[in-house]
Structure 1
Amino acid sequence: MLLQMKKKVLFILISVSFYCGLSQSREVDSLKLSLTNSKIHDTIKIKNCLILAGKYGGFSLDSLKKYTLDAIDLSKKNNDYLLDGGYYFMGVYYSEIGEINKAKESYKKALPLVDSISNKKKFGQILSAYANLLSETNELDEKIAYYTRALKIMESIGDQSKIAFTQYNISNVYRLTGVDTLAIDYLQRALISAEASGQKSLKGHILNNLTIFALKNKDLEKANTYLIESENICKETKLNLLCFHTFLQKGRYLDELKKTLEAENAFLTALKNAKKRGAPQDIMLAYTYLGKHYEEAGHAKKAIQNFEKAQEQDPANAERIMSPFSYMSWSRAERELGNYKKSNEYLLKHVKIMDSLNSEKNKKSLAIAEAKYQTVKKDKEIANQQLELKDKASEIQKKKTQNNYMLGTIVFLTIASILLVFLFKQRQKRKNQELLTLKREFQIKTLESLIEGEEKERFRIAKELHDGVNGDLSAIKYKLSSLLEMNNKVIKEAITMIDDSCKQVRAISHNLVPPSLEKFDLVEAADAYCANLNELNPSIEITFQHLGDVVDMSKKAEVNSFRIIQELVTNSLKHADASNINVQISNRNNLIQMTIEDDGKGFDKTNIESSGIGLSNVQSRIDYLQATVDLISNEAGTSYTIEINKETLNGN
């Protein structure tokens, strides 16, 4: 019974890994929800059904069956998409419920649907699952051949996870045929591969198998070490199947230590996990071990109750599934209560099963001997063929060496020529790139010099207007104000005109060198600029908006950005006949966007110069900032959108 149980572990381990790699970041609930969404394509639903089947393999056989059948149904409606996965999981399900022939048929249907070249991993996995169902007696050669083929495939692609699974399978073959040394050796190899691949659930099952051998050899210290690690994995993964086997072995270990109460709790925990999965054979095994535990502890009545519950799980196959030790223990419990007839009945069942097992062991021994004989025979045939081919191979090798020498010379010269041409082109390309870089740097320096010169000239003119002309006008106004007592109308008009002139001179001075730009940042300067223009142009609505993050640029970049806004707004005021002008600055993810829009009459973009709107100064500043511009102009108005990438911004 324990051996059959360990064979079953493999199916679930494989099923969990078959498609789970596709969904490490997805939750089960979201996968279920996708199956009811009509907008999601059937191919995605098929894949999600298979993922759910793999996830539920270690928890619920009913869910495994449901999602597998759903996947097969959808697959047949969609050109057999991933139908191999559907048949694979049906094989897993049938093997779990003990219908081995149906499981074999399902795997045989899956194999032809998988390309063994392009999808080696999946092909090797199905081979391994099919091999696990083959008998260790009549089909031993075929079983070993399938496993060996699967292992070679997994080793060729370097998949440590699947290598671990296959090594685990091979260890089971040797264990079931009584070769414990090789079984333990392959388990140790599988443990290393499982740790390398991060397969925690498989590692837990390997540790449980090592525990079985440790208990068999009475090495309780090793058994305890394996169980501690396996129990930690059980707590972490919460897989019912793994926890079932872990606590089953823990109960056996505690029985060896005569810790009766702790052993009972361990077996009850194993039973609880078996019931959660709903696997009848696991439940049967848990009740069987509880029965044996109670019989050894002197509780004959409890022992019989648990043996009866074990038999109730599958009455038709109970005798085939339950191990001989359970019937021997059951016989002793019945004798303890004075039920000698039943005691003899179960003793006879024990003898019958033992005879059957001994017969099967003999068959396995014969099968192993036959396999060894066939291997030796094949080795001799291969050796003879190799001797015959050796002479021919040496002659062919000489010719090949000569041909290879000539071919190598030609290939070397060809590669050398190609390499020289490639190096020459790369060098030329690098020089051209350096020239382009120098040209670009020169253009940027030229633009920078022109812009700096223009700013200096603006500053000089603004200073002269503010300190010179504006001062003179103020003096004239003061002198004329002294004559106001004469109540001369002409003088009043002159003073009013001087006030207007002072405002215009101040506005021109501020436009040339805005004080807000010197004291504050671009956003504040643009806001103040638009507000001042609103006062000077009451017939036009000029609005300003700032969106997003704080605009953080060098002062040079801010000055050039402000000049672009200033010149485009001035163009709108002078030429667009607009009633609304909107200025907007936004900053998102290192991308600064300036938008200047009006609802004026627009202009012909293909003939900008003839329209009287000179944009060369704006374009120079855009080039300096390494920005991009998008211009839309029609009868509904004009819109400029300038985008500045702060990562490539000059001076940032």
Structure 2
Amino acid sequence: MKRFLFIGLVSCFQIIFGQNDSTLINSILNKAYEQESANPKEALKLYKKAYKKSKENNYKIGVIKSLQYSGIVHSDMANYDSAIYYYNKALPYSLDANYQRGTGGLYINLGNAYQYKGAFNNVIDNYIKGIKIFETVKDSSRLGMSYENLAAFYNSLKNKEKELEYLNKALKIIPKNDKERIAYAMGDLGLANMKFNRFEQAYNYFIKADSITKTINNTRLNYFAQRNFGTYYFETKNYNKAIYYYKKALPFINDINDKYYKNDLILELGSSYALNKDHKNAITYLNEALKTAERDQKIEIQAKAHLQLAQVYEALNKTSSAYFHLKQNAQLKDSLLNENHLKEINLLEKQYQSEKKDKEIAEKKIALEHNQLELTKNKNKLVLVSISGIILLIILISIWAFYAQLQKVKNIEISKLEQQRDIEKLQALIEGEEKERVRLAQDLHDGINGDLSSIKFQLSSIDSKSLSIETKTLFNKAIDMIDYSCDQVRNISHNLSPTTINDFGLITSLKNYCNKLEGFHPIKINFQHFGNDIKLSKNIETVIYRIVQELVNNIIKHADASEAVVQINSYDDNLFITVEDNGKGFESSQKNAGIGLKNIASRIAFLNATLEEEHNPSGTTFTINIDLKNIQKT
């Protein structure tokens, strides 16, 4: 009797302590949930603690929730691979515990994470698995949420009909007392209606969603309410109001700490400023959106930001910058969702819709197979003839394609040879010019400069004491003129052959050149260098030096400028050179006749570079874009 009593007491203690353990774990989960928005890293630590305690006490629901909620936090932080890892880790526990609602939620979470990551092949399958579970357990609230997620996915695929269909399904099935979900559905329906240009209906949905939002203390819902109004005014081209509502949404998204939506909101703000002709603010917000999108690997947002920046720079006549961003946009668009994804998704959806009619389909399939067999017998001869014709056509097309490809290769080779010949001619001309410059510099330095020094020495040996005051003044003036001439000859010699390139490189040589010119001419020349170090062959550096030298000389001779800027920007495999002044510019006749500009053009061609010019009464700007990969080829 005592033994049975002891066993009973042990069982009681196990139940009591087990309940206490689950209560403690749920308390940790609640604390973690409260930290998700404000301090996601702390939330993850608490979920990890809850997971360990749940494992120790074999508390399966605690294990599932701690893993699932960790995945949600990672998803909110745009760490989608980590989110997928935690959802998949939680699934076996949920299936083993027969926790259907939890399992359905995990499948929906997986669908969301794959969608945000861009792995579209895995999205629809997980959504359908989750929907089937919620249909089975008759959970209308979660089923409505799942329909909303599916609608969001079709939105990302630009399938507006399917998006509207699932949003209407969601609104019909969501319980009337679930105000939060109804508000979300109405907001999404407003956005969907705008895609059909039904702006009045869209605005009514937004008003209804906002009125519900005001009765609920929900930061995320507040964000979407303000953002939806911003989107409405953006689409109706009232950009001032769009900016107003987007800025109202910013504090809410900062509290939510959702990187994806914040990034998208910043992009929309930049686009609104751009379309409102506020280019300064547009560039600021678009660059911020681009920076965070690159960090979070959001290709779609990167592509949109690059395209919008290209349009802004085009409006500012910054054609080089506009071209750069347009090129980046084209490259990113290639990696987005392609047509094959859409076909696979539509096929999976059809499979889901057809599961309820399996028996009918099976019967029809048997009948179709029988009919197909009969048709095959009757068409065998026709098929053989068709195949023979197709084979013959393929052979003829292949022969034509082969010879066309040979001709194409031959034409490419001829073009390359001609291009190489032109490059070699330019290289020979430039090398010959440099050798002649070196020879002239040597002659000036060793010849004329030496003679001037000798003359000065001879004159200095004359006893100036015996000269009259007037003669002595002329004598000293002659000595000064000889000194000035020596300096001039020395500068001309250095300009003809800049020895600093061999010793110190391009950037130092250009900087010294600009500094020296300021000492001899009444003009302020500001030299700037940004970006990576430049490492090129001395021949190429000399060519670039000559281009800048010729442009600066033109400014001094013709521009009547008080200030000039020489700017070198090196970024990855691109080198941008900008030379601009605040002078009067020059006439087209001067431009066409100038030998200096012809020399610049030949050097630009040698470098396979591009030159852009802007002339106006307030100054002249030359922008040179050099692709360093092409320089290496030369």
TM-score by length of 1: 0.48
Which protein shows a greater Rg? 1
TM-score by length of 2: 0.49
Structure scoring higher RCO (CA < 8 A, sep ≥ 6) equals 1
